[in-house]
């Protein structure tokens, strides 16, 4: 049974049954909350595959939701503490995988090894990893990814402006990190019409890749 602290209940969306064999905790990206169409599609898609998915929001997004005023993301230390608190508030009754969209996935990956060593998580999922800021390919966010010990899946659009396929293939990345590419996808996996692919088909491919990865992690638990 999923056990939540009272102050956590207002900051959580749950998709999938408590009886699921594995739980996924996902954080949102910098500009959109846990109920964005992208986050909803990923969570509902995984739930339909038999997994339980929990989505939460960082403090700045909670303040934005209550005030109606757009706010910048919290400092990295605050984001890390918030994600860590969410993990520690959950019952350890089944394997847990953490991850998120863009910034949320990056924060999860920064925490992954410490939580993996504590045996609190099984793996990590990143959806559209921000390998570098927009327009600044020289400012890489990959140092920790080179040494990552936690099994990690990054699902990335081939033409993601924060990490295109041709760029990422030149980076030094851990052998524990698996990359799956969405055909002609942007940061949210949306392709150009001329590509012959669609946003929905890429979202379905992303869910398929995550489901396969989660089944591998469940078998290894």
Angle at 142 between CA 139 and CA 147, to 5 degrees: 150
Note the pLDDT tens digit of each residue in 14-48.
Answer: 999 999 999 999 999 998 999 999 999 999 999 99
Q: What pLDDT does residue 10 have?
A: 67
Q: At what angle do helices 37-48 and 199-220 cross, to 10 degrees?
A: 50
Q: Please give the model's pTM, rounded to 2 decimal places.
A: 0.93
d(CA 50, CA 53): 10
Q: Please give the C-alpha separations between residue 132 and each of 1, 10, 139, in angstroms, as whole numbers.
A: 39, 32, 6
Domains and CATH numbers, the chain: 6-220 (3.40.50.1820)
Note the pLDDT tens digit of each residue in 145-189.
Answer: 999 999 999 999 999 999 999 999 999 999 999 999 999 999 999
d(CA 26, CA 169): 26
Mean pLDDT of the chain: 94
Q: Is the predicted pLDDT of residue 50 greater than 70, yes or no?
A: yes
Sorted by sequence, the CB contacts under 8 Å of residue 36 that are 6+ apart come out as 28, 29, 101
d(CA 23, CA 57): 17
Q: What pLDDT does residue 3 have?
A: 42
Percent of the chain with pLDDT over 70: 95
User: Which of 10-22 are b and which e, b meaning 16 or more Cβ less than 10 Å from the residue's Cβ?
Assistant: ebbbbbbeeebeb
**Concatenated DSSP letters of 73-108:** PPPHHHHHHHHHHHHHHS--SS-EEEEEETHHHHHH
């Amino acid at each position: 049974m999923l056990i939540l602290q009272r102050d956590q209940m207002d900051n959580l969306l749950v998709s999938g049954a408590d009886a699921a064999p594995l739980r996924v905790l996902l954080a949102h990206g910098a500009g959109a909350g846990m109920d964005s169409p992208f986050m909803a599609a990923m969570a509902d898609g995984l739930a339909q595959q038999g997994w339980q998915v929990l989505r939460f929001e960082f403090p700045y997004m909670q303040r934005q939701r209550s005030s109606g005023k757009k706010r910048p993301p919290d400092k990295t230390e605050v984001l890390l503490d918030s994600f860590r608190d969410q993990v520690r508030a959950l019952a350890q009754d089944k394997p847990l995988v953490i991850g998120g969209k863009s910034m949320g996935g990056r924060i999860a990956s920064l925490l992954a090894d410490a939580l993996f060593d504590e045996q609190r998580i099984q793996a990590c999922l990143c959806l559209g990893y921000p390998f570098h800021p927009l327009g600044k390919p020289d400012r890489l966010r990959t140092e920790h990814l080179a040494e990552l010990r936690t099994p990690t899946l990054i699902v990335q659009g081939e033409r993601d402006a924060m990490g295109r396929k041709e760029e990422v293939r030149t980076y030094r990345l851990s052998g524990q990190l698996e990359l799956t590419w969405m055909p002609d996808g942007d940061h949210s996996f949306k392709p150009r019409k001329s590509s012959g692919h669609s946003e929905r088909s890429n979202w379905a491919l992303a869910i398929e890749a995550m489901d396969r990865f989660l089944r591998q992690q469940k078998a290894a638990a």
